[in-house]
Structure 1
Amino acid sequence: MAAMPNETRRGHKGSDSSDRLSGPSIFAGAVLMLSGPLSILLGASGIAGDNLFAASQYVYRFDLTAWGWIHIVVGLALVVAGLGVVTNKSWGRGAGIAAAGISLITQFMFVPYYPLWAIPVMALDLLIIFALTRFHGGTNSGW
């Protein structure tokens, strides 16, 4: 019996493990795609001038509309990076790390406005950065 060509064997269970995402990468991509739309909704709430946000004298005090636009832009970056990670694009991992890092910084600056939101999102951003920098490809070492 003749051997099967390489093209037909690639899609089967014996395919190269570097083509697959690790569990932590899938987690990071999913959380990026969850955090992005939530950040967009938070930004829309800020632009609408919601009474939910309040901060007195604060060093990073911006107009609430400015914070709204910042959250919308960061949210869009998180969604695009998350799509890049889960589709295993070459730029996805770097974009995910950068977007999560920017989100971490903006959430830190946003703590006085809405700490019950900003602190958990900061924790998620740290988990995303950890998952994308520590685990790569199909290797599941450690998890």
Structure 2
Amino acid sequence: MESSYASERPAGAGTAPAGTAWIGMVVFAGILMLTLGTFQIVEGVVALYRADFYPVAPDRLLVSTSYTAWGWTHVILGVITVATGAGVLLGQLWARVLGIVITAGAALVHFGFLTAAPVWCSILIGMQILVIYALAVHGRDVRPYRST
């Protein structure tokens, strides 16, 4: 069985160079995306079904909208983040690119939700910055898994 973690090379280009230690950072980013997506889904469900959980009125948020709109935004972004995290773990190029875009978007959404849960959103934004760094800087160390 061939490892999916090696550098990208065209077919027939000879043997691939040994993987780098940064592959672990990309795997970490994929696992973190699965975790962040799950957290975001939970955050969205809480906003949908228990808006009184958050101590701030919806009109005091950075983007003044209902908790229902925030909830659906978090749920949709969370589902996309989980699916993209699975793609990153499988070494898919589309997942690395989409992962950077979705994670940056999720960080902006959490910034807008900052007044509702300041500590929680700050932690998630910091974790999302780690994901963006890992995918942008070390994403090339991973290639798709191909069964032989």
> Which category of TM-score, normalised to the shorter sequence, fits these structures?
0.7 to 0.9
Number of corresponding residues: 128
| CA deviation after TM superposition for structure 1 residue 59, in Å | 4.1
Q: Any idea what SS the aligned residue of 1:108 has?
A: helix
- Tell me whether 1:25 sits opposite 2:14 in the alignment: no
1:125 to 125, 128, 135: 128
Where structure 1 has 5 or more consecutive residues not aligned to the other structure, the ranges are 1-9
1:29, 1:85 within 8 Å by CA — same for their partners in 2? yes
- Tell me whether 1:103 sits opposite 2:94 in the alignment: no
Change (3 A) 1:29 1:116: same
Change (3 A) 1:59 1:33: closer
| CA deviation after TM superposition for structure 1 residue 16, in Å | 8.3
Aligned to 1:91: 94
| CA deviation after TM superposition for structure 1 residue 38, in Å | 1.0
TM-score normalised by length of structure 1: 0.80
Change (3 A) 1:16 1:22: closer
| CA deviation after TM superposition for structure 1 residue 77, in Å | 1.1
Matched letter for residue 79 of structure 1: V
Taking the aligned partners of 1:106 and 1:59, their CA distance within structure 2 comes to 10
Q: Any idea what SS the aligned residue of 1:91 has?
A: helix
Where structure 2 has 5 or more consecutive residues not aligned to the other structure, the ranges are 9-18, 143-148
Matched letter for residue 23 of structure 2: S
How high is the sequence identity, in percent, across the aligned residues? 25
Matched letter for residue 27 of structure 1: F
1:49, 1:65 within 8 Å by CA — same for their partners in 2? no
Indicate the RMSD between aligned Cα atoms, in angstroms.
2.3
- Tell me whether 1:44 sits opposite 2:45 in the alignment: yes
Aligned to 1:66: 69
Aligned to 2:82: 79
2:5, 2:23 within 8 Å by CA — same for their partners in 1? no
Change (3 A) 1:44 1:18: same
Superposed CA offset, 1:35-74 (max 9, x none): 1011101100100024221325344121011110010011
TM-score normalised by length of structure 2: 0.78
Aligned to 2:2: 11
